[in-house]
Amino acid sequence: MHVFELGFVAAVLLAATPILYAALAGAISAQVGVFNIALEGQMLWGAFAAVAGSYYTGSAWGGVLTALVSTALFSVVLAVGAARWHADPIIIAIGTNLLAIGLTGFLLRVLFDTSGSFSPRGLEGLPKMAFLADVPVIGPIFAGQTALVPLAFVLIVAVGLWLKRSAGGLRLRGVGEHPDAAAALGVNVASYQTWVTIAGGALCGIAGAQLALGNVTVFTENMTAGRGWIAVAAVMLVAGRPLWLPVACLGFGAAEALGFRLQGIGAPQQLTDAAPYAITLLVLVATRIRFAKRASLTST
Amino acid sequence: MTAPPETTPGASGAPGSSRGPATPAAGDAKAPSRGRRLATAALRHPAVVPIGAVVLALLIGAVIILAAGLDPITAYTAVIQNSLDPGQLDYTFSVWAFICGMALAAAIPLRMGEFNLGGNGQLVLGGLTATVIASSLPLPSIVLIPLAVIGAAVVAGAFGAISAPLATRFGIPIIISTLLLSPVAVAVVSYLVRFPLGEAGSAVAQTTRLPEGARMWALGDLSYSNAGLIIIVLLMVVFWVVDSRTAVGFELRVVGANRRFGAYGGVRVGRLALGAMAAAGAAAGVVGAVIVMSSPFRLIDGALISPGYTFAGLAAALLAGGRPALIPVTAILFTVLQVGGAGMERSADVPRQLSDVLQGVVIVVLALRTVLDQRRTERSSA
């Protein structure tokens, strides 16, 4: 079996995309100075909302919209609590992560009378871009993917450029880097933080929708399985520079996809499951060693 | 997270201004009425916020149950009845002790403002170590059982301690490193239980039963509670003594309140973090050891993690604000939720997951309590 082929590239993209949306959410929150570790719970909620929305509306895009709106609402607690009420974002996030696990499991029982997983007959998954099938190179990579996959990259580049080049982006970065100075210049810090965190919630909703309706067509309890945490680590890794996110997330996607391949040839699932976390930590340490050296040179 | 400020109103006024009938010159512009002052004093009581959080969470839970078309009174009654059922108290007590142990694992770092979210990894490593020691060394119980518990504490403590240098040397927050390390440990233990250490011919991924001599001493004829729970209770007493009576405990709280002030005051923050994370991991490791050395006396894949002691413990620690004396009390709440949740599912047909929902709501409400604190400071500094 060839590991490095176009099919593998497709698998990497598939694994990386949900993480990419969540990491973009984390990165813009980091830019305005909110440490957002609620990504895992928000993504899980998004996955559930997407499946429920698709089930009730009968349309996968209805599911995406449901996920986007309801996860944005779900993130209001974090946004308002952290930005306006100056509560500890870490504690709110721990609470909302637990809440997401509990609520999705609870609603699964109450609304659909099942536990574990939910994939009713006729649940609409997101359409694949099959029309690309005949295009060389692009075809084998993207024909089996949803439109949300390339959109993730477009969004990241757009947001990255907007942050770097536009006046709004500049103000937004100012809010995170020096809130007092931004406030003195008349920027409403709390308002920026609130809306950016809510926008992050919407992005996590899309991440969940892609996971539950794009990668597969099912909701499983706790199906995010740590992807939100990998996204938090990715945000730390790129130190808030969104344009580097694709590199980090594709790395994790590759670790996950490689894990699946290795399982296919008999490697134990437990060890390939652990690999993305171990690799993430090692890469974090490796990049931080450089920072640490530089810091020890400059500080006395 | 810091302890709520314990300043008194008028502290910013002239020195010597008393709390008695305030003179117009004493800082506050208007002298509040007696009733108002009593009300403020009552609101300032440290118990108000946690109890308020719990009451609010129960109300929110009731709304959720109502929205689901069920009866909250029946559900909550079922929770209380099932967890406090005399026939089940033995089991409830053991869950309480495990939650207390995991609350320790969260509370010790919380004292210095750090979050240990790696409890699951530390728990399973402790369980694994105890299993290996208890099943492989041919020693008398009196030596073997303590050795297994201590071994579990050492291994899990060492694992927890890794996060400290990662934070102090490389600037990787403890909350992130514990979170990334934990699933690695869980996966490794799961692999070992499934393959090299697994019981041959068993459909379930589990080790063989521990020999008679390696089973935790029973307390009379109780079936769940055993001597291991006493160990966990003793650990809590030790934490309480260290926290309130020793220099280390004071340093932990100083660093928690203000890290730079602590470092300036001569606290070696790196060493303190190392000790705190080692102690936290050790506490989780002991819980893991006690669980595997209790009935059914073996390490079963996933059995240590799936009850959710780690997050119940974290929730109990947060609700107690890390204060050692309060943890046993807050742990009762989450024990009742956990044990009663299963009963609620059976008798009131409300899904067990409501327990997780309530835990989450309590934590969120607690985090938002700063609104209250803020209003207070605004009022007192006006």
Q: A86 contacts in B (CB within 8 Å)?
A: 370, 374
- Residue of A37, A98, A273 lying closest to B360 (CB–CB): A98
- Residue B344 inside a domain? The answer is yes
Q: C-alpha B131: how far from its chain's center?
A: 24
Cis upstream peptide for B9 (omega within 30°): no
For B40, other C-beta atoms within 10 Å of its C-beta total 14
pLDDT higher than threshold 70 for residue B14: no
**Least CB–CB distance from B169: residue in A94, A274, A292:** A292
Confidence of residue B32 (pLDDT cuts 50, 70, 90): low
- If 0-12 CB within 10 Å is exposed, 13-18 middle and 19+ buried, where does residue A165 land? exposed
Given CB atoms, is A291 within the 8 Å cutoff of chain B? yes
Number of domains in chain B: 1
**Structure tokens of B284?**
């989780």
Q: Indicate the pTM of the whole model.
A: 0.85
Task: Kindly give the confidence (pLDDT) of every residue in chain A, 300 residues in length, as a single tens digit, with 9 standing for 90 and above.
Answer: 444 577 788 888 888 899 999 999 999 998 888 888 999 999 999 999 999 998 998 888 998 999 999 999 999 999 988 888 888 888 899 999 999 999 999 999 888 888 888 888 878 778 778 777 777 777 777 877 888 888 999 999 899 888 888 888 888 888 877 888 888 887 788 888 899 999 999 999 999 999 998 888 889 888 888 889 889 888 888 876 788 888 888 888 888 888 878 888 877 888 888 888 888 888 888 887 776 566 555 543
> Where residue B94 sits, what CATH number does that domain have?
1.10.3470
Shortest Cα–Cα distance, A277 to chain B (Å) = 5
Three-state secondary structure call for residue A118: strand
Judged by CB atoms closer than 8 Å, whether chains meet at B371 and A106 is answered as no
CA-based max dimension of chain B? 84
Query: How many Å apart are CA B249 and CA B253, to the nearest integer?
Result: 6
A239 interfacial to chain B (CB closer than 8 Å):
no
Considering only residues 85 to 104 of chain A, which have any Cβ-Cβ distance to chain B shorter than 8 Å? 85-88, 90-92, 94-103
Per-residue pLDDT of B239-249, as tens digits, reads 999 888 888 88
HSE of B19, CA atoms in CB hemisphere, 13 A: 10
- Domain membership flag for residue B108: yes
Residue A273: its chain B contacts at CB < 8 A?
A: 183, 187
Q: How far is A128 from chain B (nearest CA, A)?
A: 33
Q: A-B interface: how many C-beta pairs under 8 angstroms?
A: 146
Is the residue at B41 inside a domain?
Answer: no
Is residue B156 over pLDDT 90? yes
Q: Where are the alpha helices (DSSP H) in A84-211?
A: 89-112, 138-142, 148-165, 167-177, 179-184, 189-209
pLDDT digits (tens, 9 = 90+) for B74-91: 888 888 888 888 888 888
| B376 belongs to a structural domain | no
Which residues does chain B have within 8 Å of residue A91's beta carbon, measured at their own beta carbons? 1, 318, 363-364, 366-367
User: How close B336 comes to chain A (CA, Å)?
Assistant: 16
Contact call for B190 and A115, based on CB within 8 A: no
- Phi, psi (deg, nearest 5) at residue B229: -70, -35
Exposed, middle or buried by CB within 10 Å (0-12, 13-18, 19+), for B87? exposed
Measured between CA atoms, how close is A92 to chain B, in angstroms? 5
Q: What is the mean pLDDT of chain B?
A: 83
The residue length of chain A stands at: 300
| Distance separating alpha carbons of residues B124 and B280, to the nearest angstrom | 14
| Partner-chain contact B357 A103, CB within 8 Å | yes
C-alpha–C-alpha distance, residues A40 and A22, integer Å: 8
User: Considering the domain boundaries, does residue B365 fall inside one?
Assistant: no
- Closest alpha carbon to B360 in B60, B81, B76: B60
**In this structure, is residue B69 part of a structural domain?**
no
Q: How many Cα neighbours within 13 Å face the side chain of A256?
A: 22
The answer to whether the CB atoms of A271 and B191 lie below 8 A apart is yes
All residues at 6 or more sequence positions from B30 whose CB lies less than 8 Å from its CB, including other chains: none
Q: Is residue B380 part of a domain?
A: no
Q: Determine, for residues A90 and B362 on separate chains, whether the beta-carbon distance falls below 8 Å.
A: no
Any idea where the domains of chain A sit in the sequence?
6-228
| A95, B349 contact by CB (below 8 A) | no
Q: Which of B171, B354, B364 sits opposite A95 (nearest CB)?
A: B364
User: Which positions in chain A touch B353 (Cβ < 8 Å)?
Assistant: 101-103, 105-106, 109
**Nearest one of B60, B365, B314 to A106, comparing CA atoms:** B60
Query: Does position B178 have pLDDT exceeding 90, yes or no?
Result: yes
CA distance A89 to A46: 20
Average of pLDDT values for B157-183?
92
* Residues counted in chain B: 382
Q: Please report where in the chains the tokens 């041919």 appear, as a residue.
A: B138
Identify how many contiguous H helices and E strands chain B contains and give both numbers.
Answer: 16, 0
Structural domain includes residue B378: no
Domain assignment of residue B149, given as a range: 90-348
**Contact present, B330 and B236 (Cβ < 8 Å):** no
